[in-house]
Amino acid sequence: MNTFKYAALILITTFIMGIAFPVGKLGLQYAPPFLLMGIRYILAGGLLAVMTAKRPRPRGGKQWGQAAVIGLFQSAGVMGCVYYSMRWITSSESAIITFMNPLLVIVLGTLLTGAAYRRSQWLGVIVGFIGVVFTFGFHLRLQPGTFICFAGAVCFAAATLLIKRWGFAFDRTVLAAYQMLAGGIALLVLSAAAEKPYWVITAESITIILILAVVCSIIQFTIWFYLLHHGDPAKTSSFLFLAPFFGVLSSWLLLGEQVQWYVGVGGILICAGIFLVNWEGKKAGRLQMQRPSAAAER
């Protein structure tokens, strides 16, 4: 993949991730979190499954199981935790914790796959995370939602590594469809068990669901899986620091939230972190991460 295409896809997918926060916040006026996310992923996964009907399906129980496990981590685990955590913490705080994912990918990749990364990459993800904290003005408190959202970040990191390991055996768009369906089913079951499901149907609530399902799920997941499939998961995940930055900007546009000076400082630190993660260590990280992928293909 050439540099221009990679950069363009990164900007598109992180921007979409960013706008999902204010759009989802608007959606919580009409439905509780697990139900809202369950409807989102059932609709998105079902539409994408129909669109990919002629493409190869997962083969055998093992591949279906792998798709389901990815869905439990990527769709149910991440977004279930993120939106449920907003009962205690703000959407901004939730974004900060969720996008610790790049640091967690490197930690889990080192512990579980034996991948080795240079000091500049470790420094980069730390600097990038500090940039995210700056972006939201250091408004971070330890609440039950803090730990719930951190569990979502761990799910995000685990899904990233699983997609890299298992994804070569799948059509990436088919995988996106069925992991969303699996995650959506899990979220609906969780909604029935843990909350009082309701959905206020209005033109605005339907529009929100369609944006979340089509733009923030189908388009975003397809691009994200494509990027993970063609690159080092730690390098690709490092750009997730852009998502909460875009979340602030889209919240300003959609919700009228004021953008403070520290957003600019955070943006500079985020860019510095991305540079450090990719500078020099790119080749070493790629060579190390090819090992589990090759094993998965065999």
The answer to whether residue 271 scores a pLDDT higher than 70 is: yes
As a whole number of Å, the CA-based R_g of the chain is: 18
Cβ atoms of 21 and 94 within 8 Å: the answer is: yes
The answer to whether residue 3 scores a pLDDT higher than 50 is: yes
Q: What is the mean pLDDT of residues 234-260?
A: 76
Q: What is the mean pLDDT of residues 113-127?
A: 78
Domain span at 37: 3-297
Q: pTM of whole model > 0.75?
A: yes
Helices (H), 90-212: 91-98, 101-108, 119-135, 144-166, 172-194, 203-210
The answer to whether residue 231 scores a pLDDT higher than 80 is: no
pLDDT on residue 289: 42
Q: What is the mean pLDDT of residues 120-133?
A: 81
- 138-193 tens-digit pLDDT: 655 667 887 898 899 889 888 888 888 888 888 888 988 999 999 999 999 999 99
pLDDT on residue 291: 42
Per 3-state DSSP, the chain is made up of helix, strand and coil in percentages (nearest 5) of: 80, 0, 20
Distance, CA of 18 to CA of 37 (rounded, Å): 16
To which residue do tokens 């990364």 refer? 117
The encoded tokens of residue 210 equal 């369609």
The answer to whether residue 68 scores a pLDDT higher than 90 is: yes
Distance, CA of 71 to CA of 104 (rounded, Å): 19
pLDDT on residue 145: 80
- What percent of the chain has pLDDT above 70? 87
pLDDT on residue 215: 94
Name the most confidently modeled range: 68-82, 89-103, 278-292: 68-82
Q: What is the mean pLDDT of residues 80-104?
A: 79
Q: Which of 151-155, 179-183, 233-237, 239-243 has the lowest mean pLDDT?
A: 233-237
Q: Which residues, including other chains, have CB under 8 Å from residue 277's CB and lie 6 or more apart?
A: 102, 120, 121, 124, 125, 128, 234, 235, 238
Distance, CA of 220 to CA of 75 (rounded, Å): 12
pLDDT on residue 287: 41
How many CA atoms within 13 Å lie on the side-chain side of 38?
19
Q: How many domains does the chain have?
A: 1
Q: Which residues, including other chains, have CB under 8 Å from residue 172's CB and lie 6 or more apart?
A: 222, 225, 226, 229
Which of the four pLDDT bands, split at 50, 70 and 90, describes residue 279? low
To which residue do tokens 């919580």 refer? 28
pLDDT on residue 200: 95
The encoded tokens of residue 39 equal 């409807």
Q: For the CA atoms of 222, 80, 100, 46, what is the dihedral angle to 10 degrees?
A: 0
